[in-house]
Amino acid sequence: MAPPILTLTNMSLRFGPDPLFTGAELAIGARDRISLVGRNGAGKSTLMKIIHGTVDSDSGERFIKPGCHVTYLEQDPDLSNYKNAHDYVVSGLTHSSAEDHFQVDIMLAEIGLNADMETLTMSGGERRRAAIARALVSDTDILLLDEPTNHLDIATIEWLEGKLKAWRRALVMISHDRTFLNNLSNTTFWLDRGRVRRLNKGFSHFDEWSGTILEQEATERLKLDKLIEKETDWSHKGITARRKRNMGRMRNLWELREKRAEQITVMGSARLATDSSKTSGKKVIEADKVSIAYGNNQILKDFSVKILRGDRIGIIGPNGAGKTTLLKVLTGSLKPDQGYIKLGTNLEATFLDQHRSLLKDSDTVWETLSDGSDHIMVRGHPKHIISYIKDFLFDASQAHSPVSSLSGGEKNRLLLAKTLAQPTNLLILDEPTNDLDMDTLDLLQDVLSDYSGTMLMVSHDRDFLDRLVTSTIVIEENAVLQEYPGGYSDYIRQKENRTDSPQMVKEVNQKTSVKIQNRKVVSKKKLSYKYQYALETLPKEMEEINAQIKKVEKKISEPSLYDKNPKMFNQATADLKNLVNNLADKEEQWLKLAMLSESKE
């Protein structure tokens, strides 16, 4: 193994009375692709700066191989000393040849920035893209990225992923975007209680690995060290318990997605489009051929959707495409130019305000949540303030702390606690994951997974969408909107297989085919021959059924089939239902056998 190009040895750093790091050590190799994770406040950004060399530790040694260069993309880069985008990006070059300047122009064009754009007029997203361009053009040996996906739309995030996958030098990333880390990392640094633990695997293995460590510590030291019990309580619950809960939640989500797929199918069928008797009392929002434009800029065009109680709808599209406008139209706060919006009865809508306007720095945590009593009404049920704030990762001692003393992550959690306590059956979230640390993001996912009302959410976080939504509305080219059953990953798969027909019947059971494709063969040594044979043959049988489903879906998706041959349409619909049920039975059988096999290993 090649020697590392940068090491930190026996490093300690203290801010105020408490140490941030104590004897921390790490080593970075020339081809390491590292995800740096840790709780909010653990010191991840500070550690980045120590690696970069802009912050000195109190003790310990930093070694960097002679001639190596380190580039650091900060969370909030300072562009004030540069007139325009070109000048700022050029400042990141370690060389200054004509060819290097040419690469700057290419990078700016790729990331969608005008070279002459003045830095003073840039939005947050434009500043972030300029900083990314500056980092990517640098001839660096170690690239440090601190929350690089903040304020980027999904298309830009995936473009960045493509660039970083081609990166052939060391990479260290802090991010709350799980999909981003899963796709790019091959090593994980866990900053935990002042130590840096190393896992020579990518971030996708982090939950299991860290959960095992925390369980071992709790078992070995719980009685001897109460401090560790306190400090690891949330991590233990948030990783181990959450992983167990997520199995049941994901099964429930798949069921909801199947129901949503059936609803979308009904919307696409002229025969059933006017049949609203089944949804009486459950209809939340109905949009019919809605269009809206700002001058010559068409935002929405002939969009129709029916959203029922309990649906969780994700909305995605490029920055500036009209996602927030769509939210306003669907919730009735903006009137469309054409078409109509019909809202259901007894709606109690709550908007998750990411600007923290509900918080006052002079109030305490208790005062923010309570009207003076020691209980808070949480969606109609009383709960003690102390118990409630613990649900949101606060210690009881923080109840009387002023809001001004809280960290950014703690303020976000307090905002969630206040917003989500309100009685609501329609929750509206516009980019809820922006600026959230991973602990708070996991907490938000937990709370929303248990939410029984209807949700509309704009988000660029692919993992967040995959874990929560029943369907995804995508703003595509020419102001055309299309709804796809499932989350972001489901949308990508469906888009690749999509025909020119607007019918979405063929998407009813896409999630099942994905499971088949991703299955790993498990050990079957101790199973009986009968069960072993079934475990080996069921995946093939499911693939064959899935192929039949695709054929039937293709037949149903023909726009003129019902008009030409209603009997054939009805028979095909019945066949599809039987095939889907058969596939579900086969899948359940396979899952039980797989679990049995694993338990015998």
Res 407: pLDDT: 73
Judgement on whether residues 481 and 526 belong to the same structural domain of the protein = no
Residues in the chain: 601
- Three-state DSSP at 524 gives coil
Q: Return phi, psi of residue 118, to 5°.
A: -75, 135
Instruction: Name every residue whose Cβ is closer than 8 Å to that of residue 533 and which is 6 or more positions away in sequence.
Output: none
536 and 478 co-located in one domain:
no
The residue behind tokens 């309100």 is 422
Q: Which residues fall within 8 angstroms of residue 480, CB to CB, at 6 or more apart?
A: 301
* Domain membership flag for residue 159: yes
Q: How far apart are CA 286 and CA 30, in angstroms?
A: 55
In order, the DSSP letters of 263-291 are HHHHHT-TTTTT--GGGTTTEEEEEEEEE
d(CA 521, CA 536): 8
The pLDDT score that the predictor gives to residue 494 is 84
Give domain status of residue 246, yes or no.
Answer: no
The answer to whether residues 344 and 280 touch, using CB atoms and an 8 Å cutoff, is no
Q: CATH number of the domain that 374 lies in?
A: 3.40.50.300
In a domain, 457, yes or no: yes
Q: Is 197 among the domain residues?
A: yes
Q: Which residues of the chain have pLDDT under 50?
A: 228, 234-236, 266-281, 499-525
Residue 544 to residue 235: CA distance in whole angstroms: 43
Does residue 139 share a domain with residue 224? Answer: yes
Question: Is residue 152 located within the same domain as residue 279?
Answer: no
Rounded CA gap, 571 and 519, in Å? 32
pLDDT of residue 580: 77
For 12, counting Cβ atoms within 10 Å of its Cβ (0-12 exposed, 13-18 middle, 19+ buried), the class is: middle
Using one digit for the tens of pLDDT, what is the confidence trace for 473-532?
998 877 788 898 889 988 888 887 654 433 433 443 444 344 434 433 333 345 566 667
Tell me which amino acid residue 476 is.
E
Rounded alpha-carbon distances, angstroms, from residue 186 to 1, 145, 165, 178, 437: 16, 15, 11, 13, 21
Tell me how far apart the alpha carbons of residues 368 and 311 are, in angstroms, rounded to a whole number: 30
Tokens of 42: 């653990």
Tokens of 135: 């980092």
Regarding whether 493 and 524 lie in a shared domain, the answer is no
Sign for the CA dihedral angle at 407, 409, 410, 412 comes to positive
Instruction: Indicate if 280 and 375 belong to the same structural domain.
Output: yes
Does an H or E element contain 9, and which? strand 6-15
Q: Are residues 58 and 200 in the same domain?
A: yes
Whether 417 is covered by a domain: the verdict is yes
Residue 25 near residue 198 (C-beta atoms within 8 A): no
- Give the C-alpha separation, 133 to 157, whole Å: 13
Number of domains composing the chain: 3
pTM of this structure? 0.69
Q: What is the DSSP string of 20-33?
A: EEEEEEEEE-TT-E
User: Cα–Cα distance between 580 and 592 in angstroms, integer?
Assistant: 18
In a domain, 247, yes or no: no
CA distance 27 to 62: 10
CA distances from 145 to 18, 35, 128 (A): 27, 10, 11
- The pLDDT, as a whole number, for residue 525 is 42
Residue 17 CA to residue 191 CA, distance in Å, equals: 19
Nearest by Cα to 504 from 525, 485, 528, 479:
485
CB 349 within 8 A of CB 424: yes
Residue at which a domain ends, from 465, 497, 529 = 497
Q: Clarify whether residues 455 and 537 are in a common domain.
A: no
Look at residues 449, 518, 4, 503 and name the one whose alpha carbon lies nearest to residue 270: 503
User: How far, CA to CA in Å, does 125 sit from each of 113, 335, 343?
Assistant: 11, 28, 33
How would you class 34 by CB atoms within 10 Å of its CB: exposed for 0-12, middle for 13-18, buried for 19 or more?
A: buried
Give the pLDDT confidence score for residue 457 in this predicted structure: 92
pLDDT at residue 565 in the model: 76
Q: What is the pLDDT of residue 20?
A: 87
Q: What is the DSSP annotation of 66-117?
A: TT--EEEE-SS---TT-SBHHHHHHTT-SS--HHHHHHHHHHHHHHT--TT-
Element containing residue 173 per DSSP (H, E): strand 170-174
Does 201 map to a domain? yes
First to last CA, the chain: 33
Q: What is the pLDDT, as a whole number, of residue 267?
A: 40
Establish if 106 belongs to a structural domain. yes
Angle between helices 566-600 and 529-556 (to 10 degrees): 150
Give the domain extent around 544.
515-600
Q: What is the CATH number of the domain that holds 580?
A: 1.10.287
Encode burial over 530-557: b for 16+ CB neighbours within 10 A, e otherwise.
eeeebbeebbeebeebbeebbebbebbb
pLDDT of residue 509: 42
Domain stop point among 497, 528, 556? 497
Same domain, 225 and 271: no
Residue 422 near residue 350 (C-beta atoms within 8 A) = yes
Statement to judge: residues 488 and 540 lie in one domain: no
Q: Which amino acid, 444? A: L
- Show contacts of 483-490: CB within 8 Å, 24+ apart: 483/264, 483/267, 483/305, 485/257, 485/258, 485/260, 485/261, 485/264, 485/510, 486/257, 486/261, 486/510, 486/511, 487/314, 487/462, 488/154, 488/314, 488/316, 488/462, 489/462, 489/514, 490/257, 490/466, 490/514
Reduced to 3 states (helix: H, G, I; strand: E, B; else coil), residue 475 is strand
Residue 493: what pLDDT?
A: 85
Compute the distance between CA of residue 6 and CA of residue 3 in angstroms, rounded to an integer. 9
Structure-token pair, residue 571: 């028979």
Please say which residue of 497, 526, 546 terminates a domain. Answer: 497
Whether residues 432 and 532 share a domain: the answer is: no
130 and 94 in one domain? Answer: yes
